[in-house]
Structure 1
Amino acid sequence: MRQINVNDFIDTQKFNRFHLSLLLACLFIIIVDGYDMFMLGAIIPTLMEEWDIDSVTAGSLSSYALLGMMVGALVFGPLADKFGRKKIILICTAIFTILTFTSGFANGPTSFGIQRFFAGIGLGGVMPNLIALVTEYAPKKLRSTLVAVMFSGHAIGGILAALGALTLLPVFDWRAVVWVGGLPVLLIPLLAKVMPESFGYYIKTNKKELLVSTLNKVNNHERFNVQDEFVMNAADNTTSSAKNLFTEKRALSTLMFWTAAFMCLLVMYGLSTWLPKIMQTAGYPLGSSLMFLITLNLGGALGAIFGGKLADQFGSRKVLLVFYTLGFLSLTSLSLHPNIVLLYLLIFIAGATTTGTQIITNAYVSQYYPASIRSTGVGWELGVGRIGGMIGPALGGFLLAAQLPIHFNFLAFAIPSILGGIAIFLVQDKYGHAARAKKDSSTPTSSIA
């Protein structure tokens, strides 16, 4: 009988068909997630005109979804650590796609906002579990890169939302843009077939045959069988509980992750909701303003992928410090009325260092905690961060209502960027999972014999 350390086996694999199918399935869900979130920024000028609502009320529509996302992240992150990530991912995907589709039938801001809240619960629950699942199966040398590539789909979804608005609004109305976001519910059976369950869940629940089948797909040259003994590192065998985010000297880093997410999501959702309207107020037509939103999200996608590669090479903390600084500088520069070429370049950089920064942060958090509390760690980081995400659209709405000069709008989002960088600077890597795993690697914990 062989003894296999599953952590070591996963860490040393090369990227193959298994990883590609997992990545594509998770990427697809995140693209749909991103479309759902960013479509509001694309249609909000139309909603304000049709329903005759002011910018404060319109900003609250985005906050409803973000409130739901906070609830979803805080609830479904810990649940997945106990009941399996795959089940929770599919349930949450069904929730947000169905509620997105039905919100297209809303006849006013109240009905629309309520449905956005419940859709947000699904959106918030799916994110931390996708991040945790990709982290769990990714080869060690590609972990941040694959999480970043997967999560870049969020920005791609934003691009598709803007393109959808550009294409559909002149022919139909905003409802067509919303209904498109609900169609992927039809593909959930295919996703259920393609996606694996967490190997940690299989070990904890003693589902050895399913574990063997999955590991044989991870590397089809290996032939594991039920007579083998499978073990996990002791660092991955802690009890699944939110209180463990504060044990083993992780408390300060946990609070700093929450602070960084709060600041970054404030900027990210504030800009994605209000950038078209801010630029429209500055004198640009709606079509051009939507192009700014596309540029912002294109920067987010490419910044995430490029930043993920850098994080695997130089470490997430160093890369994030650089990105937060660039975010502050780009947003500050946007307040100085640059020419059109520089304007597009700065918006691209702002996207790379806000949306891209949050994606790299998610990868960093997912690797900081052991597998048993990974979804909990990412879920609570994103859940608390959603408070900032709710404040961002509301802040943008109040600034527009006050009719302040445009540079005040950008400065209000530049300051949180530097505060987020300070929080990341205070994270203590020496108490993270990677450092502890090195200490505990000599004493793996057997879970299935």
Structure 2
Amino acid sequence: MATIDLRDFIGEARFNRFQAGMLFWACFIITFDMYDLVVYGSVLPVLMKQWSLGPVQAGAIGSYGPVGMMAGAILFGILADRFGRKKILTASIILFSVATALSGFAPGPTEFSVLRALGGLGIGGILPTVIAMLTDYAPRKRANTMVAVVMCFFSVGGILAAFVAMLLLPAFGWQSTYWVAVLPLLFLPFMMKYFLDSPAMLLQKGNVGELRSALSKISGQAALPAAVEFTGLQEREPGSPIGALFTNRRGLGTLMIWVAFFMCLLMVNGLTTWLPKLMVEAGYALNSSLTFTIVLNVGGIVGTLVLGRLADAWGVKRVLVPMFVIAAASLALLGFGNNMTVLLLLVAITGACTMGAQNISYSFVSQYYPSFMRSTAIGLASGVGRMGAIVGPTFGGILLTLKLPVAMNFLFFAIPGVIAALAFLFVPLAAKAGGRSAGHPDQHTSNGAPVPADAASASP
């Protein structure tokens, strides 16, 4: 009987048309993930006038989406590891698409708020399942790059929302901008051809035929040997995936990852919210300040792609820690600069090292944990990160009310970057037992302890 090591079989496969299709539809979904959040800001002036909303009420409605996303990331991440990623990803897309499209028919703020929360719940379930699925089936030398490409489409979604609002709002009203969200539902039958449950889940359920089909698509081979034994995957551990986050010497790593995610998203969201205001406080005109925001986001896209390639070459942790340190240094220097060219360069570096590093962090998490708990791990890390994203704008607002010097505001925003770097630094990578060090999240040492992929950067 032939034996196939699933870890090596998938990891050593060449990137092919099927994986390109999987990547394309993942980017398509993530585009609408961000679209939903940004489009609210685009129609907010109209809604405030039509429904007589005050700033506080309008802000509260805007927070329902992110809160729903936080809950959805945790809930659907856990469910994906229990019932399969394909089912949960499909359910998340349907929930998000239907709730968002129906938001365009909401007669008032109450109904709109409920639908926004439901839409956020669906959106929250998309990222953990998509990233976990890509990691399950990505070639070893392309895994970080594939995640990096997908994460860039958050920015694409923001750009799309702005353009859609510009085109549809004057002619068809604010409702039409939400009806656009029905598109993922229409394309769902095409996407489902590329949605795959993890090999571990397929083996657990006894779906050997489906696993053989998936491996044939990934490898490009017409068929596998008739008689084959599958090896190379870690067996599901007893208990829940949530509990497994803290067993087998994962506890410290899990806590440090959560700290890093919270701090990084606090820094990113706080900075994107308050950067224009901070630059106005520094004496720049509003138009110039908005330019800094554009440069920050462009830097984030470029940084994500570059860091993805570097992570594939050197290991994710070796890239993340110095990038957060550089981000903190760039932010601190922003408060002392007065040359426009130098400031734009610092803002671009800040975007590359904050947004870029945060995006690559998802790849780190997806590789740090075994496949049977991967969606749970990403979902919980994302959920904790969303808490930081909610705190970030408030943190910036408090700083501004203190009337501190501009340089001090930037220094305070740099502190979360330093904490994130330290947190990732303390995430343990290698677990040794019996004189042997394993090098993949699905591989075991002799006592069963998992070891993240970064630990094997020098392993064959």
User: Does the pair score TM above 0.5?
Assistant: yes
Moved more, 203-212 or 294-303: 294-303
2-side partners of 1:160 and 1:200: how far apart? 36
C-alpha distance in structure 2 between counterparts of 1:219 and 1:309, whole Å: 22
> Which deviates more from structure 2 when the two are superposed, residues 5-14 or residues 185-194?
185-194
Name the structure 1 match of 2:439.
434
Structure 1, residues 241-281: CA drift from partner, whole Å, max 9, x if none?
Answer: 21001011110110000001111111223344455666688
- Does the CA-based 8 Å contact 1:267-1:413 persist in structure 2? yes
Query: What residue number does 1:392 align with?
Result: 392
Q: Indicate if the aligned counterparts of 2:257 and 2:427 stay in contact, CA closer than 8 A.
A: yes
Larger RCO: 1 or 2 (CA < 8 Å, sep 6+): 1
| Equivalent position SS for 1:191 | helix
Distance 2:107 2:398 in 1: 24
**Contact 1:303–1:352, Cα closer than 8 Å, also in 2:** yes
Q: Does the residue aligned with 1:230 lie in a helix, a strand or coil?
A: strand
Kept in 2, the 8 Å contact 1:368–1:434? The answer is no
Unaligned runs of 5+ in 2: 433-437, 449-460
Deviations 1:168-191 (CA, angstroms, capped at 9, x unpaired): 567676555444344333212221
- Whether 1:231 aligns to 2:231 is yes
* TM-score (ref. length: structure 1): 0.86
Name the amino acid aligned to 2:314: F
In the alignment, structure 1 residue 270 sits paired with structure 2 residue 275: no
Tell me the equivalent position of 2:199.
Answer: 199
Instruction: Give the corresponding residue for 2:84.
Output: 84
C-alpha deviation, 1:208, in angstroms: 1.2
1:3 to partner: Cα distance: 2.0
SS of corresponding position for 1:141: coil
Alignment of 1:161-240 (within 5 A): 161-165=161-165, 175-221=175-221, 223-224=223-224, 227-233=227-233, 235-239=234-238
Aligned to 1:346: 346
Counterpart residue number, 1:447: none
The answer as to whether partners of 2:261 and 2:358 remain within 8 angstroms in 1 is yes
Partner of 2:455: none
Aligned length: 440
CA contact (8 A) 1:41 1:276 kept: no
- The 1:340–1:45 alpha-carbon spacing in structure 2 relative to 1, beyond 3 Å, is farther
* CA apart distance, 1:100: 2.4
In 1, Cα distance between equivalents of 2:244 and 2:133: 20
- Residues of 2 paired with 1:380 and 1:363: CA distance? 14
Counterpart CA distance in 1 for 2:320 and 2:59 is 28
Question: Which amino acid is the alignment partner of residue 25 of structure 2?
Answer: A
Q: Kindly report the root-mean-square deviation, in angstroms, between the aligned alpha carbons of the 2 structures.
A: 3.3
SS for the counterpart of 2:230 is strand
Percent of counterpart pairs with the same letter? 41
Q: Distance in 2 between matches of 1:211 and 1:435?
A: 21
Partner of 1:356: 356
Gaps of 5+ in 1: 444-449
Equivalent AA in structure 2 for residue 92 of structure 1: S
Point out the more displaced range, 314-323 or 324-333: 324-333
How far has the Cα of 1:124 moved from its partner?
1.2
The 1:293–1:419 alpha-carbon spacing in structure 2 relative to 1, beyond 3 Å, is: same
Work out the CA distance in 2 between the residues paired with 1:137 and 1:327.
Answer: 31
Q: C-alpha offsets along residues 272-311 of structure 1, whole Å, 9 cap, x if unaligned?
A: 445566668877557x766554433322222111111111
- Give the match's secondary structure for 1:229: strand
Tell me if structure 2 keeps the 8 A contact 1:159–1:293: no
Q: Aligned residue for 1:53? A: 54
Please state how far the C-alpha of 1:165 moved relative to its aligned partner: 4.7
